[in-house]
Amino acid sequence: MNDMNPKIKETITAIQSFDPALGARVQARLDDQAIPRGALGRLQALGKQVALIQNTVRPQIRTKKVFTFAGDHGIVEEGVSAFPQAVTREMVKNFIRGGAGINVLARHGGAEVIVVDIGVNADPDEFDGVEPCKVGRGTKNFTRGPAMGREEALASLATGIGLIEKYGDDLDLVGTGDMGIGNTTPSSAIAAVLCDRPVAEVTGRGTGIGDTALQHKVAVIEKGIACNRPDVSDPIDVLAKVGGFEIGGIAGLILAAAAWRIPVVIDGLISTAGALIAHSLAPQVSHYMIAGHRSVEVGHRVMLDRIGLSPLLDLDLRLGEGTGAVLAFHIVEAGVKVLNEVLTFTEAGVTEGEDQKAVR
Quote the distance between the C-alpha of residue 20 and its chain's center: 26
The one catalytic residue in 152, 246, 321, 333 is: 321
CA angle 52, 360, 34 (to 5 degrees): 75
Cα 244 from chain centroid (whole Å): 14
- 3-state secondary structure labels for all residues of 199-223: HHHCCCCCCCCCHHHHHHHHHHHHH
341 catalytic per annotation: no
Backbone angles phi, psi at 313, to 5 degrees: -125, 155
Please state, in angstroms and rounded to a whole number, the distance separating the CA atoms of residues 298 and 294: 9
CA distances from 315 to 94, 204, 330 (A): 24, 16, 15
Q: Nearest to residue 314, comparing CAs of 288, 294, 329?
A: 294
Query: How far is residue 69's CA from residue 93's CA, in Å, rounded to a whole number?
Result: 13
The end-to-end CA distance of the chain, in Å, is 48
Which residues belong to the active site?
321
